Amino acid sequence: MGLTLDHIHGTTFHKRHGAIANAFSYGVDYMLVDLDGPVAKPFLMSENKLNLVSMYWRDHGGMRGAGQGLDWARQTLRDNGFDEYTDAKILLLAQPRVFGHVFNPVSFWLVFDAEDRLRIAIAEVNNTFGDRHSYLCHHDDLSPIIKGDQVKARKVFHVSPFQDVSGEYTFKFDVTPETLGVWIDYRDGNRGVFATFVGKRQPVTNASILRAAIMRPFGSVRVLALIYYQALKLKLKGAIYRARPLPPKSEVSR
């Protein structure tokens, strides 16, 4: 299966369902990383230490800022009866830290079988209030998740202050050696949000990192600024603000 370190210069698109229309599309950079072994990294990227771009494993897997990385993903699989996949190839799709700062609205742990087919995805969702919850996505029979397949999860976690904690997510994934795409359609009656991330996979290089730094400076600081900008637009359009409820007691739901 080999080790993976890919840089995905992708595009995210969001469109709001319901009476108050809003849509936007931005460029964004994700890394697709195999944490289960050493991966050769370019000079401008580091593991668990400051650099222009860094991946800190404590940023993922468990509580915000105290994550356990790949160990958490494997334990989550065990806890949910998927012992046969605890030693499988598990890749992390996430935005890296840029000069030490990171905010990932959503990251994904992608679990593959021996034939390199996606079987399970763990969607690790963060809100701007410091909370995190993960959704375990798979077919009931654990058949491969291929392009066009729908995997559903009930919404239990507060993300946007302009959406209720109710309704359902529909996830779609398309992972090939050349490209990666994720589609999330959240519906609560006639309200909700449709969000996508699509991009081409390429090896992480100093050139790819510098290109991202020039095209999208400040990394996740920019992402947070855009989130607040879109929230302001919704408020001015008349969207109703909902106070943050307590997060679910369970770290993971299915």
Query: What share of the chain in percent tops pLDDT 90?
Result: 89
**The pLDDT of residue 3:** 59
- pTM listed for this prediction: 0.95
pLDDT tens column, 88-141: 999 999 999 999 999 999 999 999 999 999 999 999 999 999 999 999 999 999
pLDDT tens column, 21-36: 999 999 999 999 998 8
Q: Give the torsion through C-alpha atoms of 28, 187, 155, 64, to 10 deg.
A: 20
**The pLDDT of residue 220:** 86
Would you list the domain boundaries of the chain?
5-253
**The pLDDT of residue 254:** 87
pLDDT band at residue 50 using 50, 70 and 90 as cut-offs: very high
**The pLDDT of residue 233:** 95
pLDDT band at residue 38 using 50, 70 and 90 as cut-offs: low
**The pLDDT of residue 1:** 35
Residues found in the chain? 254
Question: Do residues 110 and 125 make contact, with C-beta atoms less than 8 angstroms apart?
Answer: no
Mean pLDDT of the chain: 94
pLDDT band at residue 67 using 50, 70 and 90 as cut-offs: very high
* First-to-last C-alpha distance (Å) of the chain: 28
pLDDT tens column, 154-205: 999 999 999 999 999 999 999 999 999 999 999 999 999 999 999 999 999 9
